[in-house]
Structure 1
């Protein structure tokens, strides 16, 4: 339960760049959904520790600058693995620091020690969320690199294709 609260909290923080990317993509359906999720979870959900918005039918959505670049026409990109960050594409890897600097709240958090502590704790929480998939990865992967690459690229392809619809459910 406590781990879920922290996962919800960081998911709520990550809704800010999602909302901004909805706007950059001119996806007003998701913009409304994600904006309301942010407002409701930040207030009624006690700064996001509780995902109240999902219980009233506002489904979580994830958008990032890599998906925005794809929406703008940069669909295919070279796959690569960045040490400590994991699988990505050239497009998504290029988008990550821009997304962090201009679309997240982290660069605006002071003192700097608190900023990096919060961001680092968020990475630990996200990694902990992925541990539930570890056994599937270990059992299903004949070649772990190929399995991870294909899973990552399939997921990104799905998200890019999903964004081509007038509006979509996550």
Structure 2
């Protein structure tokens, strides 16, 4: 019986020790996109997965203080023949949702007038700025149904976005 107890106690003690945090714990590196915003990694069209999205970003004029940290496209599971687009942006200084909305809206305007916009189902844009405590993002889950042509006031167009902020 003692032998069986010892055989159970050894793995249990090992498991408990493995679950404890060491004193010299080093937090993991920030995600790639955050490293790009810090200037530690490249930014721009070359950081985008997907040729069509990369070409779109390459021909789109962004404000001088906004950079693309990364992006990707995926076939839309809900809209056959269309794509869902995801972009990570670096914004300057202490950017907040108030800074992300105009940048995202400018990108939506450019996308709507681009050939890629004709096949875009959803557009998600995230600020991956290092100073933000959590995820700050906007999503247009009905991109085809919104005009995105600047005829409405900016405030009206901002209502097209679903926001996600800490």
The structure with more strand, counted as a fraction of residues? 2
TM-score of the superposed pair, with normalisation by structure 1: 0.25
The structure with more helix, counted as a fraction of residues? 1
- Higher gyration radius (CA): 2
